[in-house]
Amino acid sequence: MSRIFITGSADGLGQMAAQLLLKDGHSVVLHARNKARAKEALATVRGAETVVTGDLSSIAETIKVAEQVNKLGSFDAVIHNAAVGYQEGRRIATVDGLPHVFAINSLAPYILTCLINKPKRLVYISSGLHKDGDASLRDLEWNIRNWNGYMAYADSKLHNVVLAFYAARKWPDVYSNALEPGWVATKMGGPSAPDSLEDGPKTQVWLAASNEPEVLVSGKYFYHKKLRSVHPGGSDPAVQDKFIAECERLSGIKFPG
C-alpha cells in the first residue's frame, strides 16, 4: 500500500481522491488552508493519517507546508491538486504581490515539488483549458498585460503541465505526470459542469497508487485514464527551462538536482 499527500484536500476533487485512496487501503495525509478547514477535513475524510495546514497563496506558508510534510517522513506520491478558479475584473494580489491564480496554481506546486522530499510519483492536476495557455511565459506577474482572469487560469494550468514534464525530464527515477479531471460540478467547476463528477478523481488516484503498466510512465498527460494530446509548449525544453527560471526568481527557491 502507498502513502500519499494531497494538496487542497479539504473539499472537492482532492477530498474525493483521498476517500478513494483510503477505501483501497492506502495511507493519506491531507492539506487544508487553515486550522478550521483542517478540522473539517479530518471530520469528513475518516481514516486520514493527519492534515497539514498552510495558505498556498503565500510563499512563506507554502514553505511551511513542505516542512510539515517532510517531518512526517517519506511519501510514495504527491498529488498537486490545490487550485483556485479565475476572477474576472481585477488582478487579486497575494501577500507577496503576485496574482493569486499564479501563486496558488503555478508557483505553490513548484515550491512544494522543490522542497518536499522526492517521492516516487508526482501527479499534477491540470485542465483542458491549458491548451489556451500562453507558452511565451510573458509577464507571469500580470504587471504589464491587462488582467484577463480566463487567460490567467489557462496559463496556470499550462504551467502545471510544464512543471510535470520538467520534473519527468530532470528526475528519471520519478514518475511525473499531469492530467485533466474534466469539467466537473465541484465548488470551482460550478453546478452546470457537464463531465462526470464520479470519474473526476479517479485518474489521479490511478496515477498515484496503481501498478498497472499504463501508469508506470513519466512525462505524460491523461484524461480519464487515457493519454491525451497536450499543448506543444508543455513538452518544449526551452519553455520548461524558462518557467523553472521564473519560478526560481520569484520564489528564491532553486529546483534540486
Q: Return d(Cα 257, Cα 175) in angstroms, integer.
A: 16
Interval 55-80 mean pLDDT: 98
Q: Return d(Cα 64, Cα 85) in angstroms, integer.
A: 24
Interval 21-41 mean pLDDT: 97
Q: Are strands 221-223 and 226-227 parallel, antiparallel or unpaired?
A: antiparallel
Burial of 42 (0-12, 13-18, 19+ CB in 10 A): middle
Nearest-10 crossing angle of helices 149-170, 237-251: 110
Rounded to 10 degrees, what is the CA torsion of 32, 216, 165, 142?
A: -30
> Which residue, chain included where needed, has cell 509577464?
139
The predicted pLDDT at position 182 comes to 62
Residues with catalytic roles: 153, 157
Q: Which residues contact 55 (CB under 8 A, 6 or more apart)?
A: 33, 34, 61, 62
Q: Which amino acid is at 39?
A: K
For the cut 80, the answer to whether the pLDDT of residue 222 exceeds it is yes
Average pLDDT across the chain, whole number: 94
Q: Which residues contact 155 (CB under 8 A, 6 or more apart)?
A: 102, 106, 133, 134, 140
The predicted pLDDT at position 187 comes to 53
Which run of H or of E encompasses 170? helix 149-170
The predicted pLDDT at position 185 comes to 41
For 9, phi and psi rounded to 5 degrees?
-110, 20
Burial of 193 (0-12, 13-18, 19+ CB in 10 A): middle
Interval 24-45 mean pLDDT: 97
List pLDDT tens digits, range 106-155: 999 999 999 999 999 999 999 999 999 999 999 999 999 999 999 999 99
The predicted pLDDT at position 181 comes to 93
List pLDDT tens digits, range 167-221: 999 999 999 999 999 654 455 555 555 455 667 799 999 999 999 999 999 999 9
Interval 52-65 mean pLDDT: 98
The predicted pLDDT at position 30 comes to 98
Percent residues over pLDDT 70 in the chain = 93
The pTM of this model reads: 0.95
Query: Of the given ranges (27-36, 115-124, 176-185, 227-236), which has the lowest mean pLDDT?
Result: 176-185
The predicted pLDDT at position 25 comes to 98
Task: Please provide the CATH number assigned to the domain covering 3-251.
Answer: 3.40.50.720
Phi-psi region of 115 (alpha: psi -120 to 50; beta: other; left: phi over 0): alpha
